[in-house]
Amino acid sequence: MSRPPKLDLAAIVAAATPPARKSADIVQLDVPAPRPKPAATLKERARQMSVYLEPPVYDQLRDLAHTERTKMHALMLEALDLLFKQRGARSIEQINEAEGR
């Protein structure tokens, strides 16, 4: 009974290794770096700021928002816009136009 040939580790590794490539075989692609995606939502673009309100002030703001069928956030932006105009600063709309939004 004949024995199968003895396996040689070096021969197995040599058979499994792909042939070496020449430097001329390597193709360089000039792909520009991906541009960062602009933030899609206000939450992604904006900075969050906390405002601490006394309960009666908060309640009044909430009641105004409910009566006007709007959000408290919209009323806060309206208040900031009025403050900016009163102080001679650019309005929120002007700021956003200058930023291209």
pLDDT digits (tens, 9 = 90+) for 27-74: 677 788 777 776 678 888 889 999 999 999 999 999 999 999 999 999
Cα 89 off chain centre by: 29
Rounded to 10 degrees, the C-alpha dihedral 93/95/100/101 comes to -50
Q: Band the pLDDT of 1: cuts 50, 70, 90.
A: low
User: What pTM was computed for the model?
Assistant: 0.58
Distance, CA of 61 to CA of 73 (rounded, Å): 10
Distance, CA of 8 to CA of 25 (rounded, Å): 31
Residue 91 pLDDT: 94
